[in-house]
A and B are shown apart, each in its own frame.
Chain A
Amino acid sequence: MNRRLQNNSEYLEVTIIAHKEGQDLPTKFKYKKRNEKEKPMALDVLLQAQENQLPDLAFRYGCRARNCGVCTIDINGKPRIACRAVVRDGDELKAMSTLPVITDLIVRRDQISRQLKGKIYEGGRKNDLNVEASEDYHELTSCIECYACLDNCPMHEKNFSEIKNDQDYFQWGNPFSLLKLQTIATDPVSTVVRREAAVSAALELGLETCLDCPGCKCGVGIDLKGKVIKPLLQNSKLVD
């Protein structure tokens, strides 16, 4: 049966791992291609699975154009943006492993933004808004907040290995939070006080973990190591 399917170009077979009450529930799903040449994205597969086989399958999506950053899932154990990740026969689709799973492919995301609550924009800004930002600043605001960068982040992993005091936000940081802080630090209207506040917030989130880390990977190609981690480490005096 399986072999016949593999040779049949009309279908793709994938495994969708749903999740209910702490249990993984794998389902084999045969995706019917909408035309012979179609190379479906993971999101197409999930939508068709919901239409034909798993009507209450829960997954996030938004713009279908790799802009909104909410549809990230793990494909074969690696974070991918579902609307722009081509699926191959035999692939396994599952919730991101780096965040707490609520149901099926839905993860809880707000513990990340909450760790920065009240921590950015301290110390005011200069009054003149008519100043241009640097190329580095704009590179950072191309972040779509897909959270692919949490993968293999030793700082973020600490949230799960230590006893948590508060469920509402993560104590330890991650590349995204550091990116937000570095954006403040490179913002031309930030005062010196605000820049320093951003760097100390990074230290509080565990910036020193980055010293021993080979670096992080961005879902849309931002140079996290060079444009986020390195300047933060330098400004915090953790490295020269």
Chain B
Amino acid sequence: MNIDLEWRNFDVLVIGSGGAGTNAAETAAKAGASVLLVAKDPLSASDTKISEGIATVRASGSEDDSEEALSENLKIAGSDLPVEEITSAFAKDSQTAYDKYRENGLRPEISSITKGPNSLPLPMGGHTRRRSVGHKNSGLAFGHANWNAIVKENKIEYLEDCWVIDLVTSEYDDGGRKVEGAIIYDAQKGKLLAICAPSVVMAAGGLSTLYFPKTDTMRGNTGDSYAIAARAGAELVDMEQTQFLPFCLTSPPSFEGLLGGEPVTASYLGVLRDKNKKVILDGVYLRTRAECSAAIMKAVEDGRGTPNGGAYLDMRANKRAPKSGTYFMKFLQNSLPSAYNNVRQAMNKKEAQCDELWEVRPSAHYMMGGIRVDENGQSIAGKKSNNGVRGLYAAGQAMGGLFGANRLGSTSLTEGAVFGSRAGFAAALYSRNFNKNKLNKDLFLKEAYKLNNLLGQMGTKHASQLKILVQKECWNNLGPIRDKKRLKKTQQFISQCRKELKKVQIGKNLLWNQSLIEYLELVNMIDTAELMTHAALERDGSVGGHVRADCKDLSIFSKPYSTVVKVRKSHIEVSKIDRKRTELKKLVEFKFKEQKRFLEAKLLRLLPMKFKDAIIEKRYKKIMGSKEKAPPLEPGSIEAAVGDQKVL
């Protein structure tokens, strides 16, 4: 072999340095484990860092916010696909997990009433209660806390610019698989690392880059978590459930895909219109992201889409109201400061002032499916939820089972902290059972040889260019709207693409070999997309983030199930696993209340201006309280830095 292998031993290997990976590494180190954290991007540069910085903290807004209420909220919003043990764990730990961020420097506004973190005035995207805490500088505040957690002590080793090639696994006594470690490409040093570790926490984020540039997330989301875990033998759940944000920008090109607004910021009178200006969705501010995205894509499917394949978000009525109109602009500017900054820079002045329509289109934002785990992040498998790959843990976007078919707003930062900590702790405990010096060297060498053979591969294709073809295919046929024909087409495309892999030119050098990096990511993208097509074909009905143009919507009263996909030697195995349905009584109540709210929203919109203006002004006054002052903004200006706006 031409490559030098550097051998290292650790108790726990953590992959990813966002919220989930950081919390896993910190907790595992605290539990006494030796920890290596690797990431392909610079330390803490992650979706956590670039998020809107709003976290779910139970009971931050109302006293009656019990663990049961939050858990049930997640489960029903996810169309009963979420696993109760996992939603309960989220509800149980949300406050302590959030406090870990505070221990590392996150400083929220403190409520004068609760003396704790102050929640935003309105329940965020689909929550039944106020429990979302916003932060100055949005996700950057979380990014700094993560950075501090890793750097503050000398306990955690970390390496940037590292691409995990594959996990190394061996056969367990009962015939299952167990983790031995990983083979990692350190591009910065130009080395190959053989990391021997009995526990691995997969926290390498999502897959939104499959849809680039129609995404608002980090470039690194090439499906690494899912592809690497699946190749190691893990089961994945709900892989058809991608969350698309409905109101993202379509132009200019530099801003394509970035966030413009959320359903709630459309406010009381915002509606969605098709290219003929006909209303396609009412009461937008009460809707989930999935509902809005589905409405837009169904209109596009019928040929009623806007020039860039989206819809128009019409917020003019909010603005026109003589009294409440001024409150609306403040509300919009303050609620999502960084999204509104995108709008100011990308759109013209009239659009940014909401005097004209916004052209919007869904963008990939979050993967709700992922590695099938229990409430401690441990990989599980089979009908009876037995052990999956032993020693494999997942947290954050990498894991599935928490959100099912729809994710509530502000939950992902909390998810990373809750399950990062849980997985890190469980991984540290598990690693204590193993003798680090007992090492199966041949297994590592086998993986290393695979890479060795790739270096210097001759060919006429370039992985970076094939990636672009994959992205176009995924958007067109595996995107926010799907049907059987398109999914089959994607599968054909993928098998064709696999043949092309042998023709990809790969350089010989080891120091930052970009062609190798592109190749490794391309393979992960293809593997992930293929797993998704199988799950998407199995789910023959629309639910949440999975919209099938050729099937009916699945009723929330139908028997809920999750799709499970697993890589076998020569094929992908697909199965269904039943989920527990929420009590019928509660579902009926939920549905009834929801319909009532939609009706009320519609009636309000249809009232004569004088009356609705007065009602809405009262509401704004109530939610914005004394903090109604808007920052001095020059709409359309581009000098705005991220840090200069305050969260409402």
Residue ranges of A at the interface with B (Cβ–Cβ < 8 Å):
34-35, 37-41, 43-44, 50-51, 55-58, 60-70, 83, 102-104, 106, 108-110, 113, 116-118, 120-121, 125, 129-133, 137-139, 141-145, 180, 183, 187-188, 220-222
Contacts and interface: CB of A to CB of B under 8 A. Distances in A.
A138 B219 contact: no
B588 interface: no
Interface in B89-142: 99, 102-103, 105, 107-110, 115-117, 136-141
A62 B41 contact: yes
B191 interface: no
A129 B101 CA distance: 10
Interface string B508-546: 000110110110000000000000000000000000000
A142 B137 contact: yes
Q: Which has the most chain A C-beta neighbours within 10 Å: B46, B107, B140, B254?
A: B254
Given A130-B116, A132-B107, A67 B514 contact: no
A237 B150 CA distance: 30
A63 B116 contact: no
Contacts of B144: 141, 143, 183
A67 B254 contact: no
Interface string B24-63: 0000000000000000011111100110000000000000
B147 to A, nearest CB: 7
Contacts of B46: 68
A138 B338 contact: no
B102 A40 contact: no
Interface of B: 41-46, 49-50, 99, 102-103, 105, 107-110, 115-117, 136-141, 143-144, 147-148, 151-154, 158-161, 187-188, 213, 216-220, 252-255, 257-258, 338, 342, 462-465, 468, 507, 511-512, 514-515, 517-518, 641-644
Contact of B220 (A62, A121, A137, A221): A62
Given A44-B254, A121-B148, A183-B144, A109 B464 contact: no
B254 A56 contact: no
B145 to A, nearest CB: 9
Contact of B507 (A37, A56, A68): A56
Contact of B110 (A39, A103, A131): A131
A138 B644 CA distance: 10
A115 to B, nearest CB: 10
Contacts of B139: 67
Closest CB pairs A-B (n = 3): A142-B643, A55-B462, A133-B107
Nearest to A138: B136
Given A56-B464, A110-B42, A120-B151, A63 B107 contact: no
A137 B107 contact: yes
B50 A68 contact: yes
Nearest to A37: B252
Contacts, number: 177
Given A62-B218, A120-B148, A129 B102 contact: yes
B103 A125 contact: yes
Contacts of A63: 50, 216-219
Contacts of A220: 641-643
Given A55-B464, A63-B50, A65-B342, A221 B644 contact: yes
Contacts of B218: 62-63, 68
A125 B99 CA distance: 13
Given A63-B218, A64-B257, A68-B218, 18 more contacts: A51-B464, A56-B464, A56-B507, A58-B517, A62-B41, A62-B45, A62-B218, A65-B216, A102-B161, A102-B512, A110-B43, A120-B152, A130-B116, A141-B140, A142-B641, A143-B140, A143-B144, A144-B642
A180 B43 CA distance: 14
A44 B253 contact: yes
A132 B140 contact: no
Contact of A56 (B219, B338, B518): B518
A98 to B, nearest CB: 15
B255 to A, nearest CB: 8
Contacts of A144: 140, 642-643
A103 B512 contact: yes
A61 B41 CA distance: 9
27 contacts: A40-B254, A41-B254, A56-B507, A62-B41, A62-B45, A63-B50, A66-B641, A67-B50, A67-B139, A67-B140, A68-B41, A68-B50, A68-B218, A70-B45, A83-B254, A103-B514, A104-B512, A110-B42, A113-B43, A117-B154, A130-B110, A138-B643, A143-B140, A144-B642, A183-B144, A188-B107, A222-B643
A68 B642 CA distance: 11
A51 B107 contact: no
B41 A70 contact: yes
Contacts of B138: 67
B136 to A, nearest CB: 4
Contacts of B462: 55-56
A44 B188 CA distance: 24
Query: Which of the listed residues A39, A51, A68, A221 has the most CB atoms from chain B within 10 Å of its own CB?
Result: A68
A136 to B, nearest CB: 12
Given A63-B217, A130-B110, A110 B160 contact: yes
A104 B107 contact: no
A61 B465 CA distance: 17
B636 to A, nearest CB: 14
Contacts of B44: 145
Given A62-B219, A70-B42, A118 B153 contact: yes
Nearest to B99: A129
A187 B105 contact: yes
Given A56-B464, A222-B643, A67 B105 contact: no
A109 B159 CA distance: 11
Nearest to B150: A113
A66 B41 CA distance: 15
A141 B110 contact: no
A125 B188 CA distance: 35
B563 to A, nearest CB: 30
B36 to A, nearest CB: 14
B50 A130 contact: no
